[in-house]
Copies of this chain bind each other. A is one copy, B any other.
């Protein structure tokens, strides 16, 4: 028993659910629909939990769904998923600075729900109008973990992490122009946060933030 299926051109890691609590997730860019469908099918066959494909463009999504039925397509999140997990008693607050950060928040929320987290979405609470953030402070404080999404100067997690005690996972987005450098400035700002204990994931990766929250949720069990 090797722990993977050998398709020649791919080796789906069918052992991952046993190790990590979730099956492998398929990253769609650079893969043909038939490749995605084959890997998804392998994973569905060999595991019991939810199977996801991320960053799926609309045309690809239709082709994959035609080949692997019973999947759900969430176009704003660019997510395909099959066999969503039962909800755990763990709430993640997904807090976004601006409406332009919406697609990243959508990915974080859709992935989080598909893997069994309860989501509380809070939008448009950027720091230039900090009263908007203070108004939802109790909602954020009630969550088990917080995903903080912001582009431009990426200041939101610093303020949030100073307000609540929960784990804060910061997601920089590519929103902005010029000196925002496609999210690099927000990324560096979040890593340099003066608020203690903020952690950071890759630019625009709502997916990574949801998975990190899942690790926290699962570690409680």
Q: Chain A residues in contact with chain B, CB under 8 A?
A: 2-4, 8-13, 15-16, 19-22, 24-25, 27, 29-31, 35, 39, 97-100, 102-103, 123-132, 134-135, 144-145, 152-155, 158-159, 161-169, 172, 174-181, 183-205, 207-208, 211-212, 214-216, 218-220
Contacts and interface: CB of A to CB of B under 8 A. Distances in A.
Nearest to A3: B131
Contact of A127 (B185, B191, B194): B194
A181 B202 CA distance: 11
A196 B29 contact: no
A171 to B, nearest CB: 10
B189 A189 contact: yes
B100 A130 contact: no
B214 A102 contact: no
Contacts of A200: 191, 199-201
Nearest to A188: B185
Given A129-B13, A199-B201, A191 B214 contact: no
Contact of A181 (B39, B188, B193, B212): B188
B99 A127 contact: no
A156 to B, nearest CB: 9
